[in-house]
Amino acid sequence: MEMFAKAFTQQEPISEEAIAQAVEVMRSGRLHRYNTVDGEPSETALLEKEFAAYLGVKYSLACASGGYALHIALRAAGVRNGDAVLCNAFTLSPVPGAINNAGGEPALVGTNTDFKIDIVDLRAKAVTSGAHVLLLSHMRGHIADMDAVMEICDEHGIVLIEDCAHTLGARWKGRPSGSFGQIACFSTQSYKHLNSGEGGFLTTSDPDIIASAVLYSGSYMLYEKHPDMPAKEVFSERRLETPNYSGRMDNLRAAILRVQLRSLDENCHRWNELYAVIEQGLRSLAGISLPFRPAYEEFVGSSVQFSLPGWRPQKISSFITECSTRGVDIKWFGDNVPRGYTSRFESWHYLSDQGDLGQTSTILDGLCDLRIPLTFDRKDCQQIVAVITEALLCTEAAHPCL
């Protein structure tokens, strides 16, 4: 039996340079982002400046988590109690959770066979939902047709918020993911492209949005400690009208992330090399279907998704077990209960009736998800393909008619 021994949850160690930077912050005792001496920018403020420059936008706000960034993005975009908010049906639970936290009602949009938002369904629901905001998840790194998305948003006056938790470093036709919408949100949770355990960013080029977001994040009227921000007048117009939701990033996490950001593009290249090995191997296997990715979708292959179309749940469950027995941890979005970091819209019972999402449900029934940590190498990826090949053969032998 082919066996794989490495852990799919093991990240690379934090570099010695980042550790030294963090130790310097700890020695100072000034971990809070606003606890600085006169004339000295905090690590968090420097990170925000560098992240905005990387993305090519005017403003960046470092947050306690990606989910928190989504929440205040929705609030800054004007979402209020009872408002419909368009979002992908294929996403993770923090996305509808952020909408719920902002008082909105998720209006789910279907998914196509390439795991991207269904443009036809989006166009229809842009009319029928009455929503003025689209929270678009580039789920598992699959970037939608942004030309079509922007056309729909512009036509209907919809504010686009990009959820780029899985696409930091990716591009669509040469333009960075996160630079299309009025707002974008990123995550630095451990399994994302930057690792601070928990954390995230809100980015925008709109001065009104960033002023609201900074106040929502809990600036305690210390917004002047954020460099390269709009004029004080932009803040003073809303400073007494904006609740403090207290979700700032601290200097310790920022110090670690500043070092990682400098290696991001190199790491994206490493991910894509590993992804190519697994993708090439899986495309040679009968019964497995992989999504089409156009050449101008410059994705980051930190995970790979494939489908087992036409397979019944019992057979897929057996295949997942066969892979797990051999050490390959595949997540299955078709399971009847959410497990780990998988979830599907049928499990979010707090949502109102979403109408017909039958095609999306069928797509998710056969969807398998495989994380690719940078602790793997090309030989590891070849062995993963060998394990999956063997597991497929065993499953077919055990369930030839399913």
Q: 215: closest CA among 199, 226, 204, 200?
A: 226
3-state secondary structure of 12: coil
Q: Which two tokens stand for residue 98?
A: 């952020």
Q: What is the pLDDT of residues 40-82, one digit of tens each?
A: 999 999 999 999 999 999 999 999 999 999 999 999 999 999 9
The interaxial angle of helices 251-261 and 16-28, nearest 10 deg, is: 150
Same-domain pairing of 257 and 293: no
Has residue 397 got a pLDDT over 70? yes
Residue spans of beta strands (DSSP E) within 338-378: 367-371
Same-domain pairing of 189 and 205: yes
Same-domain pairing of 319 and 345: yes
Distance CA 367, CA 179 (A): 29
Stronger pLDDT, 208 or 341, i.e. the higher one: 208
Residue type, 338: P
Has residue 89 got a pLDDT over 80? yes
* 6 located within any domain: no
Q: Which two tokens stand for residue 233?
A: 């007048």
* DSSP codes of every residue in 377-390: -HHHHHHHHHHHHH
Distance CA 395, CA 299 (A): 31
* 131 located within any domain: yes
Distances 138 to 50, 142, 172, 235, 334 between C-alpha atoms, Å: 23, 5, 11, 31, 19
Range 180-209 average pLDDT? 98
* 11 located within any domain: no
Judge whether 167 and 47 are in contact, CB under 8 Å.
Answer: no
Length of the chain: 402
Q: What is the pLDDT of residues 117-143, one digit of tens each?
A: 999 999 999 999 999 999 999 999 999
* 348 located within any domain: yes
Range 84-113 average pLDDT? 97
Taken in order 241, 62, 224, 25, is the CA torsion positive or negative? Answer: positive
Tell me the sheet residues that pair with 200: 63, 187
Same-domain pairing of 268 and 369: yes
Same-domain pairing of 45 and 79: yes
Same-domain pairing of 278 and 207: no
Same-domain pairing of 254 and 285: no
Q: Which two tokens stand for residue 9?
A: 């949850």
Same-domain pairing of 249 and 288: no
Has residue 227 got a pLDDT over 90? no
| Average pLDDT across the chain, whole number | 96
Has residue 353 got a pLDDT over 90? no
pLDDT of residue 336: 79
pLDDT of residue 400: 78
| CATH label of the domain that carries residue 365 | 3.90.1150.10
* Neighbour order of strands in the sheet with 175-176: 175-176, 171-172, 297-298
Judge whether 306 and 287 are in contact, CB under 8 Å.
Answer: no
* 386 located within any domain: yes
Torsion of CA 216, 221, 226, 230, to 10 degrees: 80
Residue type, 87: C
Same-domain pairing of 242 and 329: no
Distance CA 19, CA 356 (A): 50
pLDDT of residue 22: 97
Other CB atoms within 10 A of residue 279 CB: 18
Q: What is the pLDDT of residues 277-289, one digit of tens each?
A: 999 999 999 999 9
Tell me the sheet residues that pair with 88: 109
Stronger pLDDT, 182 or 340, i.e. the higher one: 182
**Total tally of structural domains belonging to the chain:** 2
Has residue 211 got a pLDDT over 90? yes
Same-domain pairing of 286 and 323: yes
Domain boundary (245, 261, 277) is at 261
Same-domain pairing of 289 and 248: no
Same-domain pairing of 221 and 176: yes
Q: What is the pLDDT of residues 234-269, one digit of tens each?
A: 999 899 999 999 999 999 999 999 999 999 999 999
Distance CA 188, CA 201 (A): 8
* 2 located within any domain: no
pLDDT of residue 38: 85
Has residue 99 got a pLDDT over 70? yes
Q: What is the pLDDT of residues 291-311, one digit of tens each?
A: 999 999 999 999 999 999 999
| CATH label of the domain that carries residue 184 | 3.40.640.10
* 67 located within any domain: yes
The confidence band for 401, taking pLDDT boundaries of 50, 70 and 90, is: low
Q: 160: closest CA among 53, 88, 218, 254?
A: 88
Domain boundary (222, 239, 261) is at 261
CA neighbours closer than 13 Å in the CB half-sphere of residue 387: 25
Distance CA 260, CA 196 (A): 9
Judge whether 298 and 402 are in contact, CB under 8 Å.
Answer: no
Judge whether 150 and 180 are in contact, CB under 8 Å.
Answer: yes
* 241 located within any domain: yes
Distance CA 226, CA 44 (A): 9
Domain boundary (197, 228, 261) is at 261
80: domain range? 16-261
